């Protein structure tokens, strides 16, 4: 039960962060309304649950060598995969992708 509550919390946090980022950053555009935000948050949450641990395992030496800074690159790759999978998400530039990946990484690590 605790696991499902944690997943639902991450889903909710990702949806709120995507909404806030699309509102305040001009580099992120999500079209389609509230359903698109929830679908995007679901995809990002699922990628963080299933794909991110594999990336962390594969790149563990790089994470150790950079004292964890390589996790930002992993978060960027996760958002980039979500951008490829969902036509409703569009990042204008790499800078907004990096900033949003840092914000989502910090928020998800706090949960």
Domain boundaries, the chain: 2-110
**Rounded to two decimals, what is the model's pTM?**
0.89
107 and 17 Cβ atoms separated by less than 8 Å = yes
Task: Give how far Cα 18 sits from Cα of 15, 40, 68, 69, Å.
Answer: 5, 8, 24, 22
Reported confidence tier of residue 108, pLDDT bands at 50, 70, 90 = confident
- Confidence check: pLDDT of 24 > 90: no
d(CA 97, CA 103): 10
Contacts for 28 with CB less than 8 Å, ≥ 6 apart: 18, 21, 22, 89, 90, 91, 92, 96, 100
Reported confidence tier of residue 51, pLDDT bands at 50, 70, 90 = very high
- Confidence check: pLDDT of 76 > 90: yes
Average pLDDT (89-102) is 89
């Amino acid at each position: 039960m605790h696991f499902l509550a944690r997943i639902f919390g991450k889903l909710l946090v990702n949806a709120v962060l995507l909404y806030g980022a699309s509102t305040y950053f001009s580099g992120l555009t999500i079209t389609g309304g509230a359903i698109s935000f929830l679908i995007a948050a679901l995809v990002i949450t699922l990628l963080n649950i299933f794909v991110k641990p594999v990336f962390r395992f594969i790149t563990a030496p790089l994470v150790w060598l950079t004292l964890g800074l390589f996790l930002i690159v992993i978060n960027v790759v996760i958002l980039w995969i979500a951008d490829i999978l969902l036509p409703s998400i569009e990042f204008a530039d790499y800078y907004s992708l990096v900033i949003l990946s840092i914000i989502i990484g910090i928020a998800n690590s706090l949960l």
